[in-house]
């Protein structure tokens, strides 16, 4: 089943639970209720996750020319440069203060990508990669995701001050666990972690995807000194509730940024499972290997027209994918119905066109 040290992709790497379709339908119904509640609150349709954006960037992805055979797969099969659109966001399904620490996201849409698609009927020329600044997801399979929906519903109704208090409690719990050499669960780490500059973060696919002949998780890490210098820089309270947006806009007003896209190939399905995205893949077993560079020039990162285009017109979906980069595991299979239902609702209530861009010029300045 392996080519050298890497697990070969086959349909058998995914193992569906007998009740998976039932669980997925329940999740989609719950997300539909959340979408309705958010619309009633904001009088505007927002995403049921990553509702708040902090910047929308135009850039380029350049595939490295010196990749080994095991890395020259799918989109990365030949050296090439593609235009990209990136949306920087927070994972809440509500518009929250940036002073509340939580997962942050980078969604990347690669344009001009041609080839067989993961879902039938999708003839667009885009490839999306959805990344979060945590290597795992707390609810790593469909059943855990279903159970987490109740907590998410409570969280969505909680005021910002309550979430700040919860974060303080999570930090205390995390310190206690670490003092006795117990790793805090991901759900605690998400609330307990430091609230740092979003442009200095490393972002991860969390779940696995097909990587041509193999299986991988992807990550994007700061490469240029301009963004590496921002890693670990705390978000000052004085900057207020839109601190991350202001920091992104201020940075790109006069700076460019480079990030490195990396692939971590699966070497063993037991220690590096596909079906449970809550299990970390050890770097010591399979390190992240460089595959491409993403470059963002200095630009106006959050104009009104650009924000409206990214938040209301565009959809970012891991299933906007080549067959060679098909998402894997139950948490990804949930997203086939969940993302489609969410984006359909959002575009309908906002009376916005649903567009997959074919040219980077479609992104407003």
Distance CA 27, CA 179 (A): 37
- pLDDT, one tens digit per residue, over 217-274 is 999 999 999 999 999 999 998 899 999 999 999 999 999 999 999 999 999 999 999 9
Q: Which residue has the tokens 């707390």?
A: 138
What number is the average pLDDT over the span 43-59? 95
Supply the pLDDT for residue 2: 47
The residues facing 6 across adjacent strands are: 3
Supply the pLDDT for residue 1: 42
Instruction: For the beta carbon of residue 123, count every other beta carbon within 10 angstroms.
Output: 8
Q: C-alpha distances in angstroms, 24 versus 221, 327, 328?
A: 32, 16, 15
What number is the average pLDDT over the span 334-343? 92
pLDDT band at 142 (very low <50, low <70, confident <90, very high): confident
Q: Which residue has the tokens 């973060």?
A: 201
What number is the average pLDDT over the span 301-308? 97
- pLDDT, one tens digit per residue, over 2-19 is 445 899 999 999 999 898
Distance CA 122, CA 322 (A): 10
Judged by DSSP in three states, 75 sits in helix
Distance CA 295, CA 93 (A): 28
114 burial (CB, 10 Å; 0-12 / 13-18 / 19+) is exposed
The residue length of the chain stands at 365
Supply the pLDDT for residue 256: 98
Q: C-alpha distances in angstroms, 318 versus 1, 36, 215, 308, 336?
A: 26, 23, 15, 21, 9
Contact predicate 265/6, CB 8 Å:
yes
Note the Cα 32 to chain centre separation in Å.
21
Residue of 203 and 174 predicted with greater confidence = 203
The two beta strands, 104-111 and 126-132, are antiparallel
Q: C-alpha distances in angstroms, 139 versus 49, 207, 277, 365?
A: 14, 11, 8, 37
Supply the pLDDT for residue 269: 96
Distance CA 241, CA 253 (A): 20
**How many Cα atoms occupy the beta-carbon half-sphere of 247 within 13 Å?**
25
As a whole number of angstroms, the longest Cα–Cα distance in the chain is 55
Categorise residue 351: left if φ over 0, alpha if ψ from -120 to 50, beta otherwise: left
Instruction: For the beta carbon of residue 295, count every other beta carbon within 10 angstroms.
Output: 16
Distance CA 107, CA 113 (A): 16
Contact predicate 357/245, CB 8 Å:
no
The residues facing 111 across adjacent strands are: 126
What number is the average pLDDT over the span 204-208? 97
- For 215, the enclosing helix (H) or strand (E) is strand 214-222
**How many Cα atoms occupy the beta-carbon half-sphere of 136 within 13 Å?**
22
18 burial (CB, 10 Å; 0-12 / 13-18 / 19+) is exposed
- pLDDT, one tens digit per residue, over 56-88 is 999 999 999 999 999 999 999 999 999 999 999
Give the domains, in start order, of the chain with CATH numbers: 2-362 (2.40.180.10)
pTM: 0.91
What number is the average pLDDT over the span 272-301? 96
Query: b/e map of 102-111 (b: 16 or more CB within 10 Å)?
Result: bbbbbbbbbb
Tokens (6 digits) for 278: 């809550």
């Amino acid at each position: 089943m392996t080519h050298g040290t890497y697990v070969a992709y086959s349909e058998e790497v995914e193992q569906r639970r007998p009740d998976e379709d039932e669980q997925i339908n329940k999740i989609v119904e719950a997300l539909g209720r959340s979408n309705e509640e958010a619309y009633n609150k904001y009088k505007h349709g927002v995403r049921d996750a990553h509702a708040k954006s902090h910047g929308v960037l135009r850039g380029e992805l350049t595939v490295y020319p010196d990749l080994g055979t095991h890395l020259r797969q799918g989109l990365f099969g030949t050296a090439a440069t593609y235009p990209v659109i990136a949306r920087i966001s927070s994972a809440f399904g509500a518009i929250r203060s940036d002073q509340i620490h939580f997962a942050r996201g980078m969604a990347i849409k690669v344009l001009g990508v041609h080839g067989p698609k993961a879902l039938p009927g999708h003839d667009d020329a885009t490839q999306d990669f959805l990344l979060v600044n945590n290597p795992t997801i707390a609810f790593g399979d469909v059943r855990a995701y279903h159970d987490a929906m109740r907590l998410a519903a409570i969280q969505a109704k909680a005021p910002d001050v309550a979430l700040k208090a919860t974060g303080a409690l999570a930090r205390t719990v995390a310190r206690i666990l670490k003092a006795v050499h117990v790793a805090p669960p991901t759900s605690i780490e998400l609330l307990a972690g430091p609230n740092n500059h979003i442009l200095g973060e490393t972002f991860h696919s969390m779940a696995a995807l097909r990587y041509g002949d193999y299986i991988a998780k992807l990550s994007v890490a700061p490469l240029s000194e301009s963004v590496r210098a921002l890693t670990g820089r705390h978000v000052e309270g004085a900057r207020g509730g839109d601190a991350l947006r202001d920091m992104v806009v201020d940075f790109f007003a006069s700076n460019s940024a480079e990030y490195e896209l990396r692939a971590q190939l699966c070497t063993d399905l037991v220690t590096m499972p596909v079906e449970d995205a809550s299990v970390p893949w050890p770097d010591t077993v399979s390190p992240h290997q460089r595959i491409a560079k993403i470059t963002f020039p200095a630009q106006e990162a959050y104009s009104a027209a650009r924000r409206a285009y990214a938040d209301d017109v565009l959809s970012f979906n891991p299933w906007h994918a080549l067959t060679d980069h098909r998402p894997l595991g139950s948490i990804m299979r949930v997203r086939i119905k969940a993302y489609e239902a969410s984006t359909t609702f959002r575009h309908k209530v906002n009376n916005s066109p649903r567009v997959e861009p074919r040219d980077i010029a479609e992104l407003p300045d």
